[in-house]
Copies of this chain bind each other. A is one copy, B any other.
Amino acid sequence: MLSKNEIKLIKSLKNKKQRHLNKMFVVEGKKSVSEFINSSFDLHKLFSININDFNMIDVNQISKSELGKISFLTNPDDHLAIFKMPDEKPLNENYLLVGLESINDPGNLGTIIRTCEWFGIKDIVCSLDSVDCYNPKVVQSAMGSLSRINITYLDLTKFLKSKSLKKFGTFIDGESVFENKISVDKGIVVFGNEANGISDDLRVLFDIKLTIPRFNNESYPESLNLSNSVGIVLSEFSRKFNEKRSL
């Protein structure tokens, strides 16, 4: 059974302001819900149309039509959980950090979180105007990786100015990321907004400006998709780091 207040709370969590006022967010689907339960996140409430899918006492049985009322998905996925937002954790600067400036698209951020985990990233730092990582579309496309990656929202300009980390920025006109001398294991690599790239304010703060060279003889396409760029840069950093380690 679902109470009116529960429906009201869940619906409100579609909204960023309400998520942060309540310090809660929604996760849907067996796989993602299980991964969050097995992480350091605190479960607030779990609703399920098949409570035996979870080996837990506190699962609230609901009907399919009740799930339809509260799910944010077009095709609801049997289980919906409310989790508490964690407290801010310190960054682990012994690993490469990924920075995102003014990222807009929730699907992009979710995919980037998943890709970052694949390549061993522990921390993502986002500028304050970036899309909220507890946005339901981010949670959905991150597919559980959000439960294991630490995401911090901060003033990116101040952060870069205050840190003595090695700073890599990605631009359309930088040095090729495939250049052999560019080898990275610590520091921060920053990616800009989907449409505009890294802002002029931030541009001056980088030690090395990187680019993914276009391997055709044309001037098209103008750019790569943002999450694809993150994947290519991180895979190249990882490849080089691994090669160096095995020498």
Check if B144 sits within 8 Å of A220, measured CB to CB.
Answer: yes
In the complex, the answer to whether A238 meets B220 with C-beta atoms within 8 Å is no
Known: A148-B220, A221-B144. Contact between A242 and B215, CB under 8 A?
A: yes
Q: Beyond A143-B221, A228-B228, is A215–B120 a contact (Cβ under 8 Å)?
A: yes
In the complex, A148 Cα to B217 Cα: how many Å?
13
A102 sits at the interface (CB 8 A): no
Give the bracket for the number of chain A residues in contact with chain B. Answer: 35 or more
Chain A residues touching B, majority SS = helix
A41 close to chain B: CB less than 8 A: no
Interface stretch among A54-62, A109-117, A163-171, A198-206? Answer: A109-117
User: A227 an interface residue at 8 Å Cβ cutoff?
Assistant: yes
Interface flag for A196 (CB, 8 Å)? no
A231 within 8 A of B: yes
Q: Hey, which chain B residues are within 8 Å of A212, CB to CB?
A: 118, 235
Copies of chain A in the complex: 2
Interface hub of A178, A222, A232, A238 (most chain B Cβ within 10 A): A232
Q: Tell whether A224 pairs with B118 under 8 Å between CB atoms, given A235-B235, A236-B235.
A: yes
18 contacts between A and B (CB under 8 A): A114-B221, A115-B225, A117-B221, A118-B212, A118-B221, A119-B215, A119-B216, A120-B217, A141-B225, A145-B220, A145-B221, A212-B235, A215-B242, A225-B227, A225-B231, A227-B227, A232-B232, A235-B235
Q: 6 tightest CB-CB pairs across the interface, nearest first?
A: A228-B231, A120-B216, A215-B238, A232-B235, A111-B225, A120-B215
